[in-house]
Copies of this chain bind each other. A is one copy, B any other.
Amino acid sequence: MEVLIVGSGNMARGIGLRLVRGGHRVRIADREPDKAADLAAELGDSAAGEPLNNAAGAEVVVLATPYEGSKQVAEMWAGDLAGKTVVDICNPVDYDTFDGLVTPPGKSAAEEIAAAAPGARVVKAFNTTFASRLANSTPLDVFIAGDDPEAKKTITGLCLDADLRPIDVGGLKHAAALEAFQLLHMKAQEQIKGGWATALTFAAA
């Protein structure tokens, strides 16, 4: 499958590594094409870098950008994204307080992004997985919320290929819970000496 990842930061890298190991082709798109090319080079022959032009040809688009950037790309590419599986991974953390989210009350970032690109099959996923845990190859829970069953099936398949455990938590309305809880996971890092490498998981007995 061909997956276009927007962004070339740590999360783009982590998800890209998993996808390439899972046997998929990855395109890295970034406003700064040099950064996209550098990450693609690290990911190997199954990856290529490109400027932030368009999403044509990609079967899945992963917005591996911060909340505001993801909303902008969703708006800018709204036509392109209609009908496509679009993955929102962001955490709309209020970094001024580090104790709340910047989304409007009762709304998740995922729903805001879905509203910005009507017709896109938006799935929330990967917002609870720290980049460092994606980059190593151990199993990891990925919580998936979305209203389009086909889109969720696609992301579920990508996760299974990448040695990730997909957990379907229901409709996109549940993205709010994923975002709110990940804030707590982030806030707890210092307290639990997590080193930004802990995994939010439903651990078996």
- A residues with CB within 8 A of B: 99-100, 105-106, 132-133, 136, 138, 143, 165, 167-171, 173-174, 176-178, 180-181, 183-185, 187-188, 191-192, 194-195, 197-205
Inter-chain CA distance A198–B176, complex, in Å, is 22
Greatest chain B CB density within 10 A among A133, A173, A201 is at: A201
Contacts A177-B183, A180-B177, A191-B168 given; indicate if A199 touches B197 (C-beta within 8 A): no
State how many copies of this chain the complex holds: 2
Q: A199–B198 contact, CB under 8 A?
A: no
A183 neighbours in B (Cβ, 8 Å) = 177
Inter-chain CA distance A100–B176, complex, in Å, is 12
Given A100-B173, A180-B181, 7 additional A-B pairs, CB 8 A: A105-B106, A165-B192, A167-B191, A169-B184, A174-B184, A198-B205, A201-B203
